[in-house]
């Protein structure tokens, strides 16, 4: 039996006029500078007490069916809250301060600076499960450069918050662009998400790639390609 294939588009290709085809709308980034230039938590912001946080952990332990009074779990609420203080310390750190100090002794260096394989661990805001991987960051300075470790610290500040990988990528690029004002920024992140590899579809080893390019990396395909070739170099 012959199958009948019906076109999803009305009319023939020749019937479609160039004027009928609309180019996709290009929208600017919708990141508020306040979200990536200052600490996410204000000193005067109301927050639950540590005792309330520990009680919440105890409630969750009871919800999954555990005996919260047994020996192995007596101190678990305290340990979990202490772990949260470490895992989410990025809420209390200011990204702009990390990039604030720059150096001008560059001998006229005018090419981009690339730091690749910056390892990070973050937490998915949808399931509060870890995702981890590597960030590759490049920027083309204008006269002054930032200390190399600062880009790694910047990555950690944003990673140590509840995140999506897309938002993490955009925040890193936007902070560098806003504070350093370079000729261009390139950020690529590759990560494995345990909310996909451990639960749900349980596809261990599946990697997610995201990127954000500004300035010369966005406008010059050759520079973007050179950046990607260095990130994916044969020595990896």
Q: Let me know whether 106 and 80 are in one domain.
A: no
198-213 residue pLDDT tens: 888 888 889 999 999 9
Q: pTM of the predicted model, to two decimals? A: 0.84
Residues 173 and 224 in one domain: yes
Active-site pick, 52, 82, 125, 143: 125
Q: Of 54, 93, 124, 171, which residue is the catalytic one?
A: 124
Mean of all residue pLDDT scores within the chain: 88
pLDDT digits (tens, 9 = 90+) for 15-69: 545 555 455 555 445 678 877 788 888 878 899 999 999 999 999 999 999 999 9
Which position has the token pair 């509060």?
Answer: 128
pLDDT for 80 beyond 90? yes
- Give domain status of residue 205, yes or no: yes
Q: Is 126 a catalytic residue?
A: yes
**Is residue 79 domain-shared with residue 129, that is, in the same domain?**
no
Q: What is the rounded distance in angstroms from the CA atom of residue 141 to the CA atom of residue 229?
A: 20
Tell me how many domains the chain contains.
2
CA 224/CA 236 separation, integer angstroms: 19
CATH label of the domain that carries residue 205: 3.30.1130.10
Q: Is 86 labeled as catalytic in the residue annotation?
A: no
Q: Is residue 78 located within the same domain as residue 117?
A: no
Among this protein's residues, is 167 annotated catalytic? no
Token pair 């690029």: residue: 173
**Confidence band of 125 (pLDDT split at 50, 70, 90):** very high
Specify whether 204 is catalytic. no
Query: In this predicted structure, what is the pLDDT of residue 15?
Result: 54
Identify whether residues 166 and 78 lie together within a single domain: no
In a domain, 44, yes or no: no
Query: Which percentage of the chain shows pLDDT scores above 90?
Result: 69
124 is catalytic: yes
Compute CA distances 88 → 168, 214, 229, whole Å: 14, 28, 33
Q: Are residues 153 and 57 in the same domain?
A: no
Query: Is residue 193 among the annotated active site residues?
Result: yes
- Which residue range(s) make up the domain with 70? 50-87
In the set 92, 94, 97, 195, the catalytic residue is 195
Give 3-state DSSP helix, strand, coil % of the chain, rounded to 5: 40, 20, 40
Q: Report how far apart, in Å, the C-alpha atoms of 187 and of each of 25, 131, 154, 210, 231 are.
A: 23, 17, 12, 8, 10
Query: From the candidates 93, 123, 165, 171, which is the catalytic residue?
Result: 165
Catalytic residue among 66, 97, 127, 190: 127
Active site (annotated) includes residue 66: no
């Amino acid at each position: 039996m012959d199958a009948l294939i019906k076109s999803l588009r009305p009319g023939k290709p020749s019937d479609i006029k160039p004027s009928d085809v609309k180019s996709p709308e290009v929208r600017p980034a919708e990141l508020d500078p306040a979200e990536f230039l200052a600490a996410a938590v204000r000193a005067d912001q109301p927050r639950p007490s540590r005792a309330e946080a520990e009680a919440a952990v105890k409630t969750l332990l009871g919800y999954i069916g555990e005996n919260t009074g047994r020996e192995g779990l007596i101190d678990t609420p305290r340990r979990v809250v202490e772990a949260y203080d470490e895992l989410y310390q990025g809420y209390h750190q200011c990204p702009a301060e990390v990039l604030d100090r720059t150096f001008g002794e560059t001998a006229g260096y005018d090419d981009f600076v690339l730091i690749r394989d910056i390892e990070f661990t973050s937490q998915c805001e949808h399931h509060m499960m870890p995702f981890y991987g590597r960030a590759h960051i490049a920027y083309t300075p204008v006269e002054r450069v930032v200390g190399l470790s600062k880009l790694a610290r910047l990555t950690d500040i944003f990673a140590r918050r509840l995140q999506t990988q897309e938002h993490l990528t955009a925040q890193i690029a936007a902070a560098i662009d806003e504070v350093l004002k370079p000729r261009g920024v390139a950020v690529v992140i590759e990560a494995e998400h345990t909310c996909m590899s451990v639960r749900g579809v349980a596809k261990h080893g599946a990697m997610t790639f995201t990127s954000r390019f500004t300035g010369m990396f966005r406008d010059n395909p050759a520079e973007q390609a050179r950046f990607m070739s260095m990130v994916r170099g044969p020595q990896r």
